[in-house]
Structure 1
């Protein structure tokens, strides 16, 4: 049970820095030297999508990760989620928060299996008149440029199990409009974990102001709503504008940035060009 006692707090504080340290430690190996060593710079580019951007935002509040990264590419960034649109997600949020409070910590320490999504929900795609694209739309909003085969591959292979505590943490963000550590909904427990009754908030303004940063936004993103995006951008108002690149696609949804049929030309080429300048 303790193995699953984590949310994205722990992913940002422990897992992400450990992963980066592990990659940097490989510099001395010949195979890795071929990939990285020719630059002579032992720092990494960080490129992530969706939850991976949230991990970065939280982790960059700690100086350790700042010292390991040369630039960051955040596609469909998620920071503030209270304006999230899809009704499917809203209903799930209420169910997870209510059930989490009812079941207590023993429930929070459990694993959220993906077997239902992989084994049952995926089969719905094969029903007459149903497409996997409809299922993606239900939770992430409309995507303009996904093929049915890409949606099938994503739902078949891309869904992974996570900790239930992680889902409840995300639900707290959606219901409360906060960007803060996990709330145990108990003053004593919060004090035990954080030294204060209210979970500490993450301060986006502490994001390194001179870090080359590319943000990829879609106008149809149901998870990274425009209003939440503006709130996030306001947190970056002190960022060096010469170091900030915004890639905005009016017709793109949440998953278009990584799976659209035209993502190579509209996203990947832009990202590679940005990285080459750093």
Structure 2
């Protein structure tokens, strides 16, 4: 949502500043699967067609670079003697075998499964945009997980439909409601079916948490599919957002409202190249790039690798439907966690009432770990506190122990490994 302001500022700068055309970092124009493979990890590309016709691209890291544990062996001495002693030993042997199978499943190829879901204007790229020991997807793969990276409809990887084209306004006729109703549950079902895992872990950032919370209001049974959920920068109530965003929300309702149906924030190859040059280590405009990130996401120590910032800005923003942003604007102004507000007439047709459906966090019955920061201007401590109060099973309420850690630092900061990812992996494994 706040990226729109940043994008406008960047556009002006690009007009005023001529391209220096420095040599690009070799990762600048790579897609997610290429970013994974260039780090030496195996990568797979999967496609999921939602029930309403959108074709979503998922990326998978089936294993990490750490050695695969040796399979456990089932050792139990055979006894030929009969009678009660023999019967007891045979029963103990079966119990022993089942316990070994339970403990050693991942060692025999059945790795625990995790799905990572991005935020607004982001994509699967954001979980692999760092060195392997610092990017969350690689860390989870090396921790023994079968890692899946989702992409919501409309971003750079999910721009296909069985009958619509992105050139048609109808393609963009969705908010994050549809991502919660169709994209996320259909991706989860696909991952479960492909891996044959009855349960999996889920990690969301920002909008990735919003759609998870809303999804459980439509499909409460999916709680049974999830072992644990991690919410980085949890987003449901956002009315305490930075004041500048409240003003933008009022403006967006005046100029567009619920009728906006188009795309914003996707970069062309030329745009990616220009931004990468603008934010390169030796560019005079590099400081402007960092200022814009601070304006968008909140105060930051800017612990972003100097040489990798151009790669990051070339991958984010990744495109979004304007109605997704409008939906968040509605949450800010309504001060409620609710479905998209189409206005009284269409609300009555769609929801059976003049007002939109209200979502309840009490429907989220899985164990949840909340990871939030004091200086996140988008998902503020006050809003996170309300979320924590209403979720029934908050198992961890973790405040990042560093001032100057903002909304985007959860993805890009060099400090994220130490301050967020190590505690996150520990939470999932306990």
State whether TM-score is above 0.5. Answer: yes
Contact 1:75–1:216 under 8 Å retained in 2: yes
Alignment correspondent of 2:418:
265
- Equivalent runs, 1:51-130 vs 2, <5 Å: 51-61=207-217, 62-85=219-242, 87=244, 89-101=245-257, 105=259, 108-115=260-267, 119=271, 122=275, 125=279, 126-128=283-285, 130=287
Moved more, 141-150 or 42-51: 141-150
Compare the two structures and name the one with the higher helix fraction.
Answer: 1
Contact 1:114–1:160 under 8 Å retained in 2: yes
Contact 1:136–1:151 under 8 Å retained in 2: no
Higher relative contact order (CA 8 A, sep 6+): 1
C-alpha distance in 1 between matches for 2:236 and 2:290:
25
Alignment correspondent of 1:10:
178
Question: What's the CA shift for 1:149?
Answer: 4.4
Q: Report the 3-state secondary structure (helix = DSSP H, G, I; strand = E; otherwise coil) of the residue aligned with 2:369.
A: strand
Q: Report the 3-state secondary structure (helix = DSSP H, G, I; strand = E; otherwise coil) of the residue aligned with 2:377.
A: coil
Question: What's the CA shift for 1:157?
Answer: 0.4
Residue-by-residue CA offset, 1:141-181 (whole Å, 9 max, x unaligned): 11235324454333210211111111111111112212100
Alignment correspondent of 1:193:
350
Q: Report the 3-state secondary structure (helix = DSSP H, G, I; strand = E; otherwise coil) of the residue aligned with 1:46.
A: strand
Structure 1 residues 182, 82: closer, same or farther in 2, change over 3 A? Answer: same
Instruction: Give 2:397's match in structure 1, choosing from 228, 235, 246.
Output: 246
**TM-score normalised per structure 1:** 0.82
C-alpha distance in 2 between matches for 1:2 and 1:10:
13
Alignment correspondent of 1:168:
326
Give structure 1 stretches of 5+ with no counterpart: 29-40
Question: What's the CA shift for 1:260?
Answer: 1.8
Q: Report the 3-state secondary structure (helix = DSSP H, G, I; strand = E; otherwise coil) of the residue aligned with 2:256.
A: helix
Question: What's the CA shift for 1:127?
Answer: 4.5
Structure 1 residues 152, 81: closer, same or farther in 2, change over 3 A? Answer: farther
2:309 maps to 1:157: no
Alignment correspondent of 1:219:
374
2:398 maps to 1:230: no
Contact 2:338–2:357 under 8 Å retained in 1: yes
C-alpha distance in 2 between matches for 1:152 and 1:171:
29
Q: Report the 3-state secondary structure (helix = DSSP H, G, I; strand = E; otherwise coil) of the residue aligned with 1:196.
A: coil
Question: What's the CA shift for 1:74?
Answer: 0.6
Contact 1:5–1:165 under 8 Å retained in 2: yes
The aligned length equals 253
Q: Report the 3-state secondary structure (helix = DSSP H, G, I; strand = E; otherwise coil) of the residue aligned with 1:60.
A: helix
Question: What's the CA shift for 1:59?
Answer: 1.1
Question: What's the CA shift for 1:135?
Answer: 1.1
Instruction: Give 2:189's match in structure 1, choosing from 21, 27, 33.
Output: 21
C-alpha distance in 2 between matches for 1:78 and 1:212:
17
Root-mean-square deviation (Å): 2.4
Q: Report the 3-state secondary structure (helix = DSSP H, G, I; strand = E; otherwise coil) of the residue aligned with 1:161.
A: strand
**TM-score normalised per structure 2:** 0.55
Structure 1 residues 248, 188: closer, same or farther in 2, change over 3 A? Answer: same
